[in-house]
Amino acid sequence: MVEKIILDTDPGIDDAMAIFFAFQAKQLDVLGLTTVYGNVPVEMSAKNALALVELANVNIPVCKGVGMPWVGEESTYAHFVHGDDGFGNINHPAPKGELDSRSSAQFIVDTVKKYPNEVTIVAVGPLGNLALALRLAPEIQHLVKSVNIMGGAAFTLGNVTPVAEANIWNDAHAAEIVFSAEWPINMFGLDVTYKVPFSPTFMQELSKVNPVLGGFVKRASEFYADFYSQGKEQKECFFHDAFPLAYIMHPELFEMTTGHMRIGTDELHRGQTSFAPIGSTMSPYWLNAQKVNVATKVKHADLTQLFIDTYALD
C-alpha cells in the first residue's frame, strides 16, 4: 500500500537526503513539502526545498511556514553544520519555480482534511508548523494517521544541550503542543540516529547508484561530515531525518518503546524529551501526559541497505 505523507522540513543536508529518499520510495506518496526555520532561516529553507523538488523533477506544492519559535527570540540557526546555504556551500543554482501561496500550517490542515485518516505527517525540523496547524484546526489531531518525528533524545544525551536535541530545543513550546495532542506519535531521536554513522563510502555508493540525487547528497555532505568528524579519525556524518520515513516503509527495522512524554520548556530543560516508559513511574506529571512510541533500537546494516536500494530505483 502506498502511504500518503506530508514532509515538514528545514533543508538542511540530512533533510535533503531524506527528501530524495522519500521521492524515490515507491511506498511513499509525498503530497507536499512544508518548510520551517531551523537549520537555516525559513526563507532559505523554503527556497532550498523548492530547489530539491526541481532537481528531483517532482511536481508537488512547497510551502513556507513559521520563521520564529512559538515563544522567545529568533533562532541562531545551524550554518556551522549545514553551510551558509544549507547545502554545504556547493553553489547549487537557485530554484526557478514558485512557492505554494498557502502557509505550511494551512497546507497541513487542508491536506489532512482532504484525506481523513490517510496522511502521515513526517516532521524533521522544529515543530512550529504542526503546532500552528493544531491551533488553526484542532480536529486534525483526530484525522491524521500518525505523526513521525525526527527529534528528541529519550535515553541519550542531547546535541544542543546535555538534555535537548536541536529540533525540539529550537521550538520547545511548539513541541509541547504537538506532543500533548491526541494523535499517534512515533519519535525517532538521537537514541537511534546517532547509532548509525555514515562513512564517505556510503555517500560514494549513493552517488554511484543515483548520480543526480545521490551525487547532490555526496557533494553537500562533505561540509556536513567535516563538522561531525571533528576530533575523530574517520570521516562520518548522520542522516537523522531519513529515519521516520524508513519506519513507514519497514517498521520491522526498529524497536519501539511506549511511554509518556513531557517536554521541558524552562530555560535549563528547554527542549528536553523526558520519557517514562509504561510502568516506570507513578508520577501524575507523566501518567497524565500523552503516550508516544519512541524508537530505541535500529537494525543498522538493513537500514543502510534500504537507503542505497531506494536511491537506486528508477
- On the question of a cis peptide bond just before residue 189, with omega within 30 degrees of 0, the verdict is no
Residue 51's DSSP bridge partners are none
- Least distance to ligand RIB from the beta carbon of 160, Å? 8
* Distance between CA atoms of residues 198 and 166, nearest Å: 20
Q: Is 167 in the site for ligand RIB (CB under 6 A)?
A: yes
Could you tell me which of 144, 120, 125, 127 has the C-alpha nearest to residue 28?
Answer: 120
Q: Which of 92, 173, 240, 260 is catalytic?
A: 240
Query: In terms of CB distance, is 237 or 306 closer to ligand RIB?
Result: 237
Q: What secondary structure does DSSP assign to 190-232, as a single string?
A: HHHHTT--B-HHHHHHHHHH-TTHHHHHHHHHHHHHHHHTTT-
Q: Is 125 in the site for ligand RIB (CB under 6 A)?
A: yes
Q: Is 39 in the site for ligand RIB (CB under 6 A)?
A: yes
Query: In terms of CB distance, is 95 or 271 closer to ligand RIB?
Result: 271
- Least distance to ligand RIB from the beta carbon of 10, Å? 5
Residue 19's binding partner out of Ca ion, ligand RIB, none, with CB under 5 to 8 Å set by partner kind: none
Q: Is 64 in the site for ligand RIB (CB under 6 A)?
A: no
Identify which range of 9-17, 104-112, 203-211, 228-236 contacts ligand RIB by CB under 6 A.
9-17
Which of 150, 220, 263, 303 is the binder for ligand RIB (CB under 6 A)? Answer: 150
> Site map for Ca ion, 228-247, x if CB under 5 A?
-------------x------
240 is a catalytic site residue:
yes
* Distance between CA atoms of residues 47 and 87, nearest Å: 11
Asked if 86 contacts 40 with a C-beta cutoff of 8 angstroms, the reply is yes
Residue 20: all three cell numbers together:
530524495
Contact residues for 112 (Cβ-Cβ < 8 A; gap 6+) = 6, 119, 121, 133, 137, 140, 143, 144
* Distance between CA atoms of residues 19 and 306, nearest Å: 15
Which of 15, 100, 176, 191 is the binder for Ca ion (CB under 5 A)? Answer: 15
Binding site for Ca ion (CB under 5 A): 10, 12, 15, 124-125, 241
- List residues near ligand RIB by CB under 6 A: 10, 12, 14-15, 38-39, 124-125, 150, 159, 165-167, 240-241
Which residues are identified as catalytic? 240
